[in-house]
A and B are shown apart, each in its own frame.
Chain A
């Protein structure tokens, strides 16, 4: 039980650190870290589906788009305060994910990856569809900056006698939600549901023999994963204060999968690294040279190096680092 107490203590410690970070960081860094939190949530969701249940998805960005548009439409056209749109954004994407999970049951491995990729590719075009224009406003998109439903986007929020500018507000909101969703995922995955997910991943036949219904758990994983993506997408819309089809490009889905692999599939402890990678690797790669094309090669090179050196992602790296100290016990949580 000491272990649990310590773990809880460390979780609280990490939270406290996150709470004080903005006092040391510039406003803009804080804003960037808010995006790290958003990617954290999206990758966490993707990891539940891909890492724990073994269903490869290249469509996480599309579910983020669903959440983002839900938030934007509710805020701009229906006067709903930003924070209250988030559960609905999660729900909208979650239901869509669950429904997608049903036909996806017929597909496996690379075929499933292709089907999910198809959603990511087709969604931007669907958002531009003329008949949906009144809802989505086409390419011009939906602006959220400066509207009354958007907290602190113009005047800072007063909290306990402190001024909270937009960048910090969105940082705190994102990381509070990220912490709550992390806790929820951790509790879910260490229990019966998580065991069933892993059973389905490792062998569907064996899972079925042990009384786990693979179809039910696969669709459930799709639903949960899309719910996380939806919440992340809602926050993404709030932070960007704008949505249009271009804000959720196909590349977003791909980078999220890259982030999930870099974090370490099937483990929650490398997520932070994956989220930082998604936010900062493109920028860092661009710093190497301003020559066109170099950045993409550097980006690709770093990814290859990561996969070779850390085949199990950041979580695997931590595990390997810790191995000499932990008498060879292998952790999976």
Chain B
């Protein structure tokens, strides 16, 4: 009978909790969502916590760039405000966070949300409610390819399949008889790099003597690498993300294997490579780049890099300037600023999409020679990349700028 007391506590506790949570109220919607006379609000999700948190730094880099733009008067008299919601790299949280940005914060557009699955999860929703989903931080080719079905979505970096093709072409040009082993993340991203490699090799795709996928939730890729080793390949493709890529280097070393290694761009940040370097296996590894690498001393006198450094010093003091994720974030933010500028003073979502599909400018944070260029039927903003080789603790570019389609 006295249990009744406890039951009584339940609704009381509920009231207390809800009262506390309800305190964060909703902003008043304006006639044109997210746009006022003095401000434009954009938003995005990123993994600020969890395993992929390193990629979340792109959001900080982008925000620093917007602050710099605002300090110089903003865009057409409007300051850019960028709200980032943490999704911990969990697509269900991405959906919640995106709805929060659209329904509660009334953002004008989504910008730089991180992850392939994560963005696939919100794409139908955003296109139904006609909120632009711009400069998606993922190289999945669907962003640019599916524009007829999802006209409000666009990516930014070269596609994973284009990257695979570049590696294939490099192999055909330099080591025709290579025997190739592939380690790939078994999801939309890893499989796309692999299929790009296959397509690029064409008839010679039989030279892929072994391919092993690993599940992102697996703690280690050791057994996959060991089984690849037994295929007697002399070339290893590491299409793996973050710590898995480092593990792959370590395992190769442990097995006493000395293949020519190719590593995909998303895992080839200098900061990551330096950790893997302790194995000694990184020397001579090949990858591609498209942003200026802030760890590379050859940019010391470059205008884009100096802008980057001054923004880092002013708006992200104390952060590691050499971390390439900040650079990637600024590059995307620069494209966003450009699009907002050309959309004009009378800012509408339709107008923004018109501007975004007619970009043609030089982003100071991308490699010299790269133009960020789109048309209504060609929605892949960055379509050039540079091969690079790891030597003595940093990437050295070689050859000319390549088409990445």
Contact = CB atoms under 8 A, between A and B. Distances in A.
B110 to A, nearest CB: 15
A159 interface: no
Nearest to B191: A139
A100 interface: no
B17 interface: yes
B149 to A, nearest CB: 11
Interface string B103-117: 110000000000011
A146 B217 contact: no
Nearest to B1: A3
A329 B124 CA distance: 55
Contact of A10 (B4, B60, B116): B4
Given A21-B18, A25-B22, A125-B186, A7 B86 contact: no
A145 B124 contact: yes
A17 interface: yes
Contacts of B142: 140
A125 B187 CA distance: 9
Contacts of A244: 91, 117, 120-121
B302 interface: no
Contacts of A167: 99, 103
Given A269-B10, A272-B13, A296 B49 contact: yes
B8 interface: yes
Interface stretch (B50-58, B221-229, B238-246, B251-259): B50-58
Most buried by A among B6, B96, B125: B6
Interface string A141-176: 101011000000010000000000001000000000
B244 to A, nearest CB: 15
A242 B90 contact: no
A295 B96 contact: no
**Chain B interface main SS type:** helix
A141 B5 CA distance: 47
A143 B124 contact: yes
Interface in A113-149: 121, 124-125, 128, 138-141, 143, 145-146
A292 B91 contact: no
Given A31-B103, A124-B215, A13 B6 contact: no
B22 A26 contact: yes
Interface in A26-76: 26-29, 31-33, 35
B13 to A, nearest CB: 7
Nearest to B57: A292
B317 interface: no
Nearest to B90: A249
B187 A296 contact: no
A326 interface: yes
A79 interface: no
A203 interface: no
A141 B90 contact: no
A27 B103 contact: yes
B173 interface: no
B88 interface: yes
A28 B122 CA distance: 16
Interface stretch (A91-99, A211-219, A220-228, A283-291): A283-291
A249 B124 contact: no
Contacts of A121: 215, 217-218
Nearest to A13: B11
B187 A292 contact: no
A246 B215 contact: no
B188 interface: yes
A141 B121 CA distance: 8
Given A140-B188, A295-B49, A318 B6 contact: yes
Contact of B121 (A3, A154, A242, A272): A242
Given A244-B121, A285-B49, A292 B56 contact: yes
A242 B124 contact: yes
A246 B124 contact: no
Nearest to A236: B92
Contact of A3 (B4, B118, B188, B218): B4
B26 interface: yes
A139 B6 contact: no
State which size class the interface on B falls in: 35 or more
B3 interface: yes
Which bucket holds chain A's interface residue count?
Answer: 35 or more
Contact of A331 (B3, B10, B121, B124): B3
B6 A240 contact: no
Contacts of A139: 116-117, 120, 187-188
B4 A24 contact: no
Contacts of B217: 121, 124, 249-250
A273 B117 CA distance: 30
B4 A28 contact: no
A246 B114 CA distance: 14
B182 interface: no
Nearest to A5: B4
B124 A322 contact: no
B3 A7 contact: yes
A18 B18 CA distance: 10
B13 A10 contact: no
A292 B5 contact: no
Contacts of A29: 21-22, 24
B100 interface: yes
B95 A10 contact: no
A11 interface: yes
A333 to B, nearest CB: 7
A282 interface: yes
A322 B5 contact: yes
Contacts of A109: none
Nearest to A154: B128
A250 B95 CA distance: 18
B10 A14 contact: yes
A26 B104 contact: yes
B25 A26 contact: yes
B5 A325 contact: yes
Nearest to A2: B1
Interface string A248-275: 1111000000000000000001001100
25 contacts: A7-B4, A10-B8, A11-B7, A24-B18, A28-B100, A28-B103, A31-B99, A32-B96, A121-B215, A125-B215, A138-B188, A141-B121, A145-B124, A244-B121, A245-B117, A246-B121, A282-B93, A292-B49, A292-B56, A295-B86, A318-B9, A322-B5, A326-B2, A326-B5, A331-B2
